[in-house]
Amino acid sequence: MWCWGSGDDTNKDGVLGDGTTAGRRTAAPVQGLSAVVQIGLGESHSCAVEASGKVKCWGSNKYGQLGDGTHKSSPKPVAVKGLSDVLEITLGDAHTCARVKDGAVKCWGLNRDGALGTGSFASRATPGAVVKLKDAVQVTAGSYHTCARFADGSLKCWGANSAGALGNAKTTSSNVPVAVTGMLGLTDLEAGLGDTCATFKDGSVRCWGANDRGQLGDGTTTERPQATKVKLNGKVADLVAADLHTCVRFDDGTMQCWGDNRSGQLGDGTTQQRNAPVDVTW
């Protein structure tokens, strides 16, 4: 695994994992990793799953998000304590969650608004099991909320919900998983800063939660505590959500994006906010 970046030529807290706190404009190898099969990036920490099923994390550890039992930041990868057989990891701003072989989900780090799903609001420096949850097939973390998908196409979420990111028709945060309403035939999901989007067997996309930058793609800036359908040009093959914008790729290789566009991240040749999907121009 190789990393690069960080602003102002600094690598605060060692988020690049190269053993230094210097920013890099070219790639450098992360130290102490082998046979990496998946990576995850948070606001100021990073993690990797190795082929052995073990997880190592590095960078900021203010809230215990590295999972090594301490609150000491590290510019080199450290092993997450008591965690094995990991199939998937996902990182929020300052929390981390892992899906393990038996379908359980374990989380650690900042527990703002119950993002760890452990039944409390206490942050953790080591993994704790998400309560009342088993047989998950996918897990994804937003900034302060987390969701898990199940084989039957159902979905549960937990954590911050002031804008409706949990999709349960309420705006009360929850430290335990709650069922998302109206989920049938779910195939993929992505979480952003305060919103969540999902794809379905028919190739459609539905989103819910915060919508101040049009990130739900329903043509409005109205918050939605329940899923709302995005009007798209075709059948979706892939979905990705960032903090304030969302993009999809279609079967024919074309793309559409919507939401915040102040840095031109929608790729439509403008910096205009888009409350509904627009074509990425090539």
Q: Within this chain, do residues 203 and 147 fall inside the same structural domain, yes or no? A: no
Give residue 182's pLDDT band: very low, low, confident or very high (50, 70, 90): confident
Is the distance from CB of 39 to CB of 1 less than 8 angstroms? yes
User: Do 203 and 77 share a structural domain?
Assistant: no
pLDDT at 184 over 90: no
> Are 95 and 109 members of one domain?
yes
**103 and 164 together in one domain:** yes
pTM (2 d.p.): 0.95
Residues 175 and 266 in one domain: no
Confidence of residue 34 (pLDDT cuts 50, 70, 90): very high
What's residue 101's pLDDT? Answer: 97
* Last residue within a domain, chosen from 184, 215, 230: 184
Say if residues 31 and 19 touch (Cβ distance below 8 Å): yes
Say whether both 193 and 107 belong to one domain. no
Residues 146 and 228 in one domain: no
Taking only Cα atoms into account, the Rg of the chain, rounded to an integer number of angstroms, comes to: 18
Both 29 and 163 in one domain: the answer is: yes
Number of domains into which the chain is organized: 2
Looking at 167, 184, 201, the residue that finishes a domain is 184
- Shared domain check, 173 and 209: no
- Considering the domain architecture, whether residues 8 and 18 belong to the same structural domain is answered as yes
Q: How far apart are alpha carbons 146 and 191 in whole angstroms?
A: 7
**Average model confidence (pLDDT) for the chain?**
96
From 184, 206, 232, give the residue that closes a domain: 184
Q: Contact at 8 Å (CB) between 69 and 81?
A: yes
Within this chain, do residues 95 and 126 fall inside the same structural domain, yes or no? yes
SS3 of the chain: CEEEEEEEEECHHHCCCCCCCEEEEEEEECCCCCCEEEEEECCCEEEEEECCCCEEEEECCCCCCCCCCCCCCEEEEEECCCCCCEEEEEECCCEEEEEECCCCEEEEECCHHHCCCCCCCCCEEEEEECCCCCCEEEEEECCCEEEEEECCCCEEEEECCCCCCCCCCCCCCEEEEEECCCCCCEEEEEECCCEEEEEECCCCEEEEECCCCCCCCCCCCCCEEEEEECCCCCCEEEEEECCCEEEEEECCCCEEEEECCCCCCCCCCCCCCEEEEEECCC
Listed residue (179, 163, 180) closest to 171, CA to CA: 163
Same domain, 106 and 179: yes
Residue 95, pLDDT score = 98
* pLDDT of 185 strictly over 90: no
Residue 263: per-residue pLDDT:
97
Q: The domain that contains 107 carries what CATH number?
A: 2.130.10.30
What is the extent of the structural domain holding 209?
185-282
Tens-digit pLDDT profile for residues 67-105: 999 999 999 999 999 999 999 999 999 999 999 999 999
pLDDT for residue 10: 82
